[in-house]
Amino acid sequence: MEQMKLLLIGAGRAGMIHARNFMARVPHARLAAVSDVNENNAREAAQEIGDNCQWYTDYREALVKSQADAVIVVTPTKYHHEIVLAAAAAGKHILCEKPMAMTVAECRDMIDACQKYHVKLQIGFMRRFDRNFIRAREIVLSGELGAVVSVKSLTHGPSTPQEWMYDIAKSNGPLAEVNSHDIDTLRWLTGSEVKSLYAIAGNYRCPEAQAKYPDFYDTVLMTTRMENGMMGCIDGAQGVQYGYDARVDVLGTKGLVTIGGLQSGTALSYTKNGGMSGDVVHSWMNLFADAYVQEDISFISSILNDTAPEVSGVDGMMAVAVVAAGNESIRTGKIVTLEGGNHHAGC
């Protein structure tokens, strides 16, 4: 089978995860080109990829000259909209990292463009491809837990946010950058959309942001009521330092299923001086390495077999809608009701 040619747009840390997967672990595909506004990033990525990989600093030029069949979009969120529209018009299938876009309107544009030009659009919610998340969903669907009552999803990241993330208008805040995965997990495991939500947040670890960015928050709690009556709780934080922490609890009327944990292995040490200790997960890149591979394989398979992507543009859009509603609730202190991606504050 002839290999599909891919263009990577964005050669940062997350972009290179995809690059290394396509270099060695994804059948029927190869990276033909890479584009990054930082010339050094683009050149170094192309050198690592090898195989006559071309590099560009302008994605528009890359779309024309690379002759790629598909693109992987791994840039800051604010650029996703324009890049996806351009890629769709050029007839390229698209894997776009999360968050899908800055607004629901941008998401709708992206979905419409991909439908117009008959190209695939997959959104990068890699947790759906993690074997533990898949197994948990199988248990939920089997009825073993009885009726699902609530889903609690937690993500704490160790790193201090980059300065551009402090501006909520440019980043949509931690609800977007950190908790988009939790929002998608909530939708996926309940099989329902968010009906209403209430969120509170605060800045506890980033004092340097307080003067210039008074709206920035590094910690957020959000509770939701789903359309099918189930409940949800999302716990997000940045700059926690202690490790990368991703956990989910699904409570049913007859049982509980848990996913994840901070501990990276089962080996614990017990000493007089150190007490009990064990290794912790330090990065999402380690925890979800295999899930990224399966996500990339799934994307190529959907193109070759002409099937719908496992994670759709609508999935991406609904997560963006919940982020927007959550940020509105944080600003207003009110419960926010969502209706088909639109939302309004209540009492």
Give pTM, 2 decimals.
Answer: 0.92
What is the CATH number for 93? 3.40.50.720
- In this structure, how many other beta carbons lie within 10 angstroms of the beta carbon of residue 107? 26
**What is the predicted pLDDT for the residue at 5?**
98
Contact 12, 35 (CB under 8 A): no
Same domain for 115 and 136? no
Calculate the alpha carbon distances from 241 to 92, 159, 160, 283, 342 in Å: 39, 6, 8, 11, 36
**What is the predicted pLDDT for the residue at 347?**
42
Phi-psi region of 127 (alpha: psi -120 to 50; beta: other; left: phi over 0): alpha
| Number of independent structural domains in the chain | 2
Same domain for 226 and 304? no
Same domain for 178 and 70? no
Same domain for 76 and 179? no
**What is the predicted pLDDT for the residue at 142?**
94
Same domain for 247 and 338? yes
Contact 231, 248 (CB under 8 A): no
Residue in 178, 205, 255, 220 with CA at minimum distance from that of residue 328: 220
Same domain for 148 and 296? no
Backbone angles phi, psi at 114, to 5 degrees: -65, -35
3-state secondary structure of 287: helix
C-alpha atoms less than 13 angstroms from C-alpha of 109 in its C-beta half-sphere: 16
Same domain for 162 and 279? yes
Tokens of 97: 């990292």
Same domain for 227 and 322? yes
Chain position carrying tokens 């088909």: 340
What is the CATH number for 177? 3.30.360.10
Residue in 315, 328, 322 with CA at minimum distance from that of residue 341: 322
Same domain for 208 and 335? yes
37: containing domain: 4-127+290-312
**What is the predicted pLDDT for the residue at 272?**
67
Which stretch of DSSP H or E encloses residue 249?
strand 245-252
Same domain for 80 and 137? no
**What is the predicted pLDDT for the residue at 1?**
58
Same domain for 66 and 136? no
Same domain for 56 and 157? no
Which parts of the chain register pLDDT below 70? Answer: 1, 262-272, 274, 276-287, 340-341, 343-347
**What is the predicted pLDDT for the residue at 339?**
82
